[in-house]
Amino acid sequence: MMMKAIVYTEYGPPEVLKLKEVAKPVPRDNEALIRIHAAAVNYGDLLARNFKEITPRKFNMPFVFWFFAKLLFGVRKPKKTILGSEFAGVIESTGKDVRSFKPGDPVFGYRGQSMGAYAQYLCMPEDGVLATKPANMTFEEAAAVPYGAIMALGLLRKAHVQAGQKVLIHGASGGIGSAAVQLARHFGAEVTGVCGAPGLAYVKSLGADKVIDYGREDFSKNGATYDLIFDVLGKSSFSRCKNSLSKNGRYLRASFKTRELWQMLWTSMSGGKRVICALAPGSREDLLAVKELIEAGKIRTVMDKRFPLAQAADAHRYVEQGHKKGGVVISASNSGVANANQY
């Protein structure tokens, strides 16, 4: 049996993404076969598509992470030829050992670096990062949730955000930042979101108490202080942000280099203001926690645009322009491009 998928066999610009017929996967005993309704386009997809161009300097992590990513993705050409790490769909069939899911169940999930969601079908192990789709979301909305929300949840947990604290999210309009804004608000913090001018209304709509356009104002020079500064993309520095941190404030980095790791070690020994560099691999438990928060109305997805599977390259082009405001999804069950901005 065959299925349609977006395949890339060389690194490069969006044009390397081609619609092809490939073998439909067959679930193992512990796996579910999922018919995909929608897969989101995120930072990791763009990075993996163009990984040949990503030098250690351009990579937002230490050299050793870049080295292992290079081995994982493929040195000269991609090893995993179908992109897409987050998705929503319906279980079509299950292996004989699967107990938690049955055919017909709506699900959403995260594949991490295994990718493979730009296709009509994929297989997921029952104990993978997979959960029943939130009842109050469409497939397209749910597809755009897992990566950003489970990364933001995992990273914010490391900073122990408390009610009443002041939190600044740098990169608030992106996949991780937009979830971090909503989660920090849920934890009871007063949230300031920093992003470019086009994303300000979007970040405000997610519940940020204040927004700052990084093109017009340097948040580290306006005299305000925060209990937590969470820099998603690593565009600031601890030395620059120090005066904007409260007495025992924390400077959390989702993207970091060796310098920040040394700063983390040093500040953990010296006390006072601290640097935290953290990884959030994402787990099934985190996805289940996110599903509960969605159903409780604490996290929502704003849809930006959706593209049919055949136009995956256009979806990448759109996201690559850098101004997506909310979910951009590739819909395996949709035939037209649609704007869906709802904020």
Ligand X SMILES: NC(=O)c1ccc[n+]([C@@H]2O[C@H](COP(=O)([O-])OP(=O)(O)OC[C@H]3O[C@@H](n4cnc5c(N)ncnc54)[C@H](OP(=O)(O)O)[C@@H]3O)[C@@H](O)[C@H]2O)c1
- Binding positions for ligand X, rule: CB under 6 A: 42-43, 60-61, 151, 170-177, 195-196, 198-199, 214, 232-233, 235, 254-255, 278-280, 322-323
Structure tokens of 246?
């409260």
**Which residue, 101 or 219, has its beta carbon nearer to ligand X?**
219
Closest separation in Å from C-beta 175 to ligand X: 4
Closest separation in Å from C-beta 60 to ligand X: 3
Work out the number of other CB atoms within 10 angstroms of the CB of residue 288.
15
Using CB atoms, what's the residue nearest to ligand X?
A: 174
- CA end-to-end distance (rounded Å), the chain: 41
**Which residue, 28 or 158, has its beta carbon nearer to ligand X?**
158
**Which residue, 101 or 250, has its beta carbon nearer to ligand X?**
250
DSSP 3-state of 294: helix
Work out the number of other CB atoms within 10 angstroms of the CB of residue 2.
10
Distances (CA, A) of 229 to 150, 177, 235, 291: 19, 12, 12, 26
**Which residue, 280 or 340, has its beta carbon nearer to ligand X?**
280
CA distance 111 to 284: 11
Comparing C-alpha atoms, which of 28, 285, 255, 48 is closest to residue 146? Answer: 285
How big is the chain, counted in residues?
343
**Which residue, 107 or 203, has its beta carbon nearer to ligand X?**
203
Q: Are 117 and 107 in contact (CB under 8 A)?
A: no
**Which residue, 94 or 173, has its beta carbon nearer to ligand X?**
173
Residue 139's contacts (CB-CB under 8 Å, 6 or more residues apart) are: 37, 38, 88, 89, 106, 108, 133, 333
**Which residue, 122 or 211, has its beta carbon nearer to ligand X?**
211
Closest separation in Å from C-beta 264 to ligand X: 13
Closest separation in Å from C-beta 238 to ligand X: 16
**Which residue, 91 or 179, has its beta carbon nearer to ligand X?**
179
CA distance 247 to 244: 10
- Maximum Cα–Cα distance for the chain, whole Å? 63
Structure tokens of 220?
């580290």
CA distance 37 to 200: 30
Closest separation in Å from C-beta 35 to ligand X: 26
Closest separation in Å from C-beta 166 to ligand X: 19
The number of helix segments (H) and strand segments (E) in the chain equals 10, 16
DSSP 3-state of 303: strand
Work out the number of other CB atoms within 10 angstroms of the CB of residue 75.
9
**Which residue, 60 or 94, has its beta carbon nearer to ligand X?**
60
Closest separation in Å from C-beta 48 to ligand X: 12
Closest separation in Å from C-beta 189 to ligand X: 18
Closest separation in Å from C-beta 202 to ligand X: 9
